[in-house]
Amino acid sequence: MADRTDRIMLFIDGSNLYHSLKNYFKRTDLDVGKFSNKLLDKRRLVRTYYYNASVGQKEEPERYRDQQKFFAGVTAIPYCELRLGRLVYNNWPNSPPYEKGVDILLATDMITHSFKNNYDTAILVAGDNDYVGAIQAVKDNGKNVEVALFGKERTSMQLRVVADRVATINGRLLRNCWK
């Protein structure tokens, strides 16, 4: 059982969360605040960092408007900060845009806050191998790292191995977390 006095920081890869919700639950209307509270499990939140990339306003005006509304909801959550990388549009609309800078921003924040002693435990909501080195650096600095993942098929086995604890994001965990 986790220590209730633990200071927790949540690091959410928004794009990974969005696409995983879409794939597993066929919906994306998650209340990020309620979801964060479930992951905290009554422990003390220091801050939630939500990472994403802004959709291009001129390339995708409708998606941009929807995303801005969503971002406004995220920034309205107490102790939650929105951190943005960027989307790169090459050969649009023939090729989809790709994210730039989001993973490195998240990893840098997780490591920096660890060395500043701003938390005892980091909870990472993400599913790819890119974070394995950052998790190891945080653990080497004496902090705990939990990872919240969707299922086993599409998530990194290395993340599962390096994490101190793995929470599976499933229907039970997400109960009462929808808007």
Can you give the pLDDT at residue 5? 86
Q: Mean of the pLDDT values across residues 40-67?
A: 96
Can you give the pLDDT at residue 155? 72
Contact by Cβ (8 Å): 80, 74:
yes
Residue spans of the domains in the chain: they are 7-174
Contact by Cβ (8 Å): 130, 17:
no
Q: Mean of the pLDDT values across residues 56-80?
A: 96
**What's the pTM?**
0.95
Say if residue 9's pLDDT is above 80. yes
Give per-residue pLDDT as tens, 143-164.
Answer: 999 999 997 766 789 999 999 9
Which amino acid does the sequence have at 128? D
The total of other beta-carbon atoms located within 10 Å of residue 83's CB is: 17
Q: Which CATH superfamily is domain 7-174 in?
A: 5'-nuclease (3.40.50.1010)
Residues 6+ away with beta carbon under 8 Å from 53: 15, 84, 85, 86, 87, 99, 100, 101, 102
Average pLDDT across the chain, whole number = 94
Can you give the pLDDT at residue 154? 65
Q: Mean of the pLDDT values across residues 23-42?
A: 94
pLDDT-above-90 percentage for the chain:
91
Can you give the pLDDT at residue 121? 98
Give, to the nearest 10 degrees, the angle between helix 102-115 and helix 132-140: 0
Can you give the pLDDT at residue 156? 82
Q: Mean of the pLDDT values across residues 55-84?
A: 96
Give per-residue pLDDT as tens, 96-140.
Answer: 999 999 999 999 999 999 999 999 999 999 988 999 999 999 999
